[in-house]
Amino acid sequence: MLQDRLAGRRLEIEALLAAPITIAESYGEPVPVLRTLLGCLALANDEARQPA
């Protein structure tokens, strides 16, 4: 992820965070830390898409 971020590429957060969140919630497990990370990294993804 760091290499992608430094190169200005989009992060693969869906595979790394969204899938585990979905699985955990299907078992009724709360995952507040993963949700927070997903939100923060989504902002970084939006930032990477904008021209400098």
Q: What is the pLDDT of residues 10-19, one digit of tens each?
A: 888 888 888 9
Average per-residue pLDDT in the chain? Answer: 85
Evaluate if residue 33 carries a pLDDT over 90.
yes
Torsion of CA 24, 27, 29, 30, to 10 degrees: 60
Instruction: Count the Cβ atoms, other than its own, within 10 Å of residue 12.
Output: 13
Tokens coding 17: 């965070």
